[in-house]
Amino acid sequence: MKSREKKQVTRVNTLLHGGDYNPDQWLNRPDILADDLKLMKLAHTNTYSIGIFAWSALEPEEGVYTFDWLDTIFETIHQNGGTIILATPSGARPAWLSQKYPEVLRTNELRLKHLQGARHNHCFSSPVYREKTQHINRLLAERYGNHPALLMWHVSNEYSGECHCDLCQVAFKEWLKETYNNDLAALNEAWWGPFWSHTFNSWSQIQSPSPIGEDAVHGMNLDWRRFITDQTINFYQNELVPLRELTPTIPVTTNFMADTDDLIPYQGLDYGKFAKHVDVITWDGYPAWHNDRESTADLAMKVGFIDDLYRSLKQQPFLLLESTPSAVSWHEVNKAKRPQMHLLSSMQMIAHGSDSIMYFQWRKSRGSSEKFHGAVVDHDNSPENRVFKDVAEVGKILESLSAIAGTTRPADVAILYDWENNWALNDAQGYGAKTKNYTQTVQEHYRTFWEKDIPVDVIMKDQDFSSYKLVVIPMLYLLSLETLSRLKEFVAHGGTVVSTYLTGIVDEHDLAHLGGWPKDLQDIFGINVVETDTLYPSDYNKVRYGEKEYELKEYASIVEVKQAEIKGEYLEDFYAHTPAITSHSFEKGKSYFIGGRLERSFHSDFYGEIIKELRLTPVLSVRHEKGVSVQARQSETEDTIFVMNFSEETQVVYFDQPVWDRLNEVELVGEVMLEKYAVKVVTVPLEDNSQ
């Protein structure tokens, strides 16, 4: 194994606390703006994202600029001891721009032109919009680039969506020509053109996917999604030109998202690719705490997964750029955080690698769609309500923990996640239409490590595998020969890999691998996957593994053993008593294959054995029951460990060695009571924390 190289980290020298501040909504209320400065002190906040949707306040008419209000805000926040994350305003256009230059409006997949309104509805290919956004960005950089309050650039906001206008059709064709080296025959091969007579003999014949045209060519659909990511990045890079030129030492970011209904990473863009173009990963986290679909611990596991994914994208701390101190306004049910949940959920973010707790929004808007969205300052303008006090408590604690800013933690376990794989698998017209659930499946493989307090990196397919002891690749349906070669090298040099059903089915163009399961996979796992069975919800099967039987649902790989050891077998159907779970020693390493989708208890038992075999250990041994999570950050001198109760009852935890309770300034050892939603933050010197 290679030793883990030290990563270059873009450091924030303290933990940030604050959020989206919209003084442009209150320019006619100087009393409100004055109150803000007082309340910022009381809330223990220090950083504010400003200007995100302020274009019409900065340029109310074309070429007419009103920066005086922003000048004042910069000065007053600076004098108040705060710093500013300054946004470029491209996320929402002023009406005059759409009226004069209608080419900036998006066209949807039905080829209908959007109207002015809402936000994030502009064409990324539009030369006019690129020129206008770059110009306003240059003015901002010239005016505020040297201001001591400027901490970071917040470029646009939550990039998303796609455009199918004529400009984007031209851009798509140019992207394809570059991707396929101007070789139309290569494109036809990659898209399997002869199917349904879809061979192109001119680039001009190609149009973006549409339900009123072509949307069943899977290679085209995959390339279109790749183009959307690249075109969005290209637009973002156009915004960066004056920022990099005039403020080369100021870091830049743009905020990533998560789909909140089931809390999975946003799927509209490949953030693995986008991450290479930002200095700091930031994301907007809005878990639906206290929902009636899942336990608090189940939701906390998903939050941990996304945190670990976004931290792993650059192997450095991330920033939580938006969250809510209470409720939001756009869930189906907008439930308030219960007492203690705001502190607990904030500490979870810090524990998994965030260097900030930032909110949308600082002050509730008086009107429009977000007037009831949670905020630090409510319509009552009072520091005495419960939510404001919760925020102030978090602020005080973040001040006491500021030394951990910039720290992270090493991991011996990596779980591979791939946006392109999810796009391709969801597009596949086979298996179960509603049961593929790639991201949810990856989260289930992550769960056991989270529950057992084992640090995990959630990595991309092009990241280095060599420093990990274990790499888990669930459902890697889309598998290129390049990725496969790197996995084979990882195992050959002593690594352990776990894979599952629906892995290695298609290549990077979404073309099926010919000749059966790829030979390198057969070598690594010592098996050949010859068939995949898809089950109805009413179908019944089980797998015997060790001394236990586990329920099988939805998918089962029918496996032919070549050299592998059979660890488990199916018990029902025509493949009864055939291999379901296998292991295989390949050169210096080892592989495991899980043939079917099995119940949660199987993962706990299976990965529990691997954890013992590979001697994977938590940063600190804390004995506890399910519902408690223990996560750590490591500096050069000590571990800071977060012991968090994500259950609705008091839990007993046991510290096997003395630790220092940072929040209460006392030593803890042995049995400690952890109340509902409570958190302990403890430290241990590194030399005292050997496992």
Residues in CB range of 636: below 8 A, 6 or more apart = 686
Q: Decide: residue 622, CB within 10 A, 0-12 exposed, 13-18 middle, 19+ buried.
A: buried
- Could you write out the DSSP letters of every residue in 383-451? SSSHHHHHHHHHHHHHHHTGGGTT-B---SEEEE--HHHHHHHHH-SSS-TTT--HHHHHHHHHHHHHH
Is 322 among the catalytic positions?
A: yes
**Annotated catalytic residue, options 59, 158, 239, 451:** 158
- Could you write out the DSSP letters of every residue in 607-624? HHHHHHHTT---SS-EE-
Residues pairing with 531 in the sheet: 558
Please name the residue that has the structure tokens 């069943």: 216
User: What is the CB neighbour count within 10 angstroms for residue 540?
Assistant: 12
Round to whole Å and give the CA distance between 636 and 296.
Answer: 33
Phi then psi dihedrals of residue 581, to 5 deg: -130, 130
User: What is the CB neighbour count within 10 angstroms for residue 6?
Assistant: 7
Residues in CB range of 517: below 8 A, 6 or more apart = 504, 528, 529, 530
Q: Is 454 within 8 Å of 413 (Cβ atoms)?
A: yes
Q: DSSP letter at 101?
A: -
Tokens of 144: 């505020």
Half-sphere exposure in the Cβ direction for 192 (13 Å, CA): 16
Peptide bond into 134 cis (omega under 30): no
The distance from CA 665 to its chain's CA centroid, rounded to whole angstroms, is 34
Residues pairing with 471 in the sheet: 414, 497
Residues in CB range of 551: below 8 A, 6 or more apart = 541, 542, 598, 599
Residues in CB range of 621: below 8 A, 6 or more apart = 656, 657, 691
Counts for the chain of helices (H) and strands (E), in that order: 17, 28
Is 384 among the catalytic positions?
A: no
Longest alpha-carbon distance in the chain? 77
Q: Helix, strand, or coil here: 84?
A: strand
**Annotated catalytic residue, options 59, 162, 322, 569:** 322
Beta 579-586 vs 565-570: how paired, if at all? Answer: antiparallel
> Would you mind telling me the total number of residues written for the chain in this entry?
691
Residues annotated as part of the active site: 158, 322
